[in-house]
Amino acid sequence: MSSQVAKIRRGRKYDQVINGARSVFLTDGFEGASVDEIARAAGVSKATLYSYFPDKRILFMEMVTQQCQAQATTTVQSLDLTAPPDEVLRKGGQQFLGFLLSDMGQRIFRIVIAECERFPELGQKFYESGPMVMRRVLVDYLAAAQSRGQIRGNVDIGLAADQFGEMCKADLWLKVIVGIRSDVSQADISRVVDGAVDTFLARYGV
């Protein structure tokens, strides 16, 4: 994997190629996306595209990584990590669930799941660039809140963070990802996240 990543060239048309790849991959999926179509969408020649990314799989993994990292960064920067748990968990949960339920979030997840059996490193890159980043931030925040006396002592912080993430996905996420629901409102998201925060703090709050 490290040898593949080293082959990526970051030049002045790197962002242009990534943006073109994003539009094609999210529309056609990994298997359906052609290099010719990606080059057209990016406004570059096929030779230029290959000079940045030697094959389609590497380009797809880079696109997913960039998108997940951007979302994780946006979420973290929107939070005041010195605020009390009720505020941080509520805002962070809404950002997290909002991305999961977004069209882009759903498309990325479906493509990764469809391809990770053939390309196991894709699943790892997806997890490391998005979910793992968010989990690490939440674990660090809960540990700091625990030291401030806002979260109970003798708590498995890692497990607590995982449980909060899963509670934020209750009811809505699975229905959306399998196509049972498509009409999710902000009120629906708030309902699920508020329930997750209340349940979490009833168990772990002080």
Q: How far is CA 16 from CA 21, 104, 168, in A?
A: 9, 18, 34
- Return phi, psi of residue 175, to 5°: -65, -40
| 82-127 pLDDT tens trace | 999 999 999 999 999 999 999 888 888 888 888 888 888 888 888 8
The residue written with tokens 């990292």 in the block is 69
Q: Is the pLDDT of residue 4 over 60?
A: no
Q: Amino acid identity of 176?
A: V
Calculate the average pLDDT of the chain: 89
Q: Is the pLDDT of residue 202 over 90?
A: yes
| 147-177 pLDDT tens trace | 999 999 999 999 999 999 999 999 999 999 9
Q: How many CB atoms lie within 10 A of CB 203?
A: 12
Global pTM? 0.82
3-state secondary structure the chain: CHHHHHCCCCCCCHHHHHHHHHHHHHHHHHHHCCHHHHHHHHCCCHHHHHHHCCCHHHHHHHHHHHHHHHHHHHHHHCCCCCCCHHHHHHHHHHHHHHHHHCHHHHHHHHHHHHHCCCCHHHHHHHHHHCHHHHHHHHHHHHHHHHHCCCECCCCCHHHHHHHHHHHHCCCHHHHHHCCCCCCCCHHHHHHHHHHHHHHHHHHHEC
β-sheet bridge partners, residue 205: 151
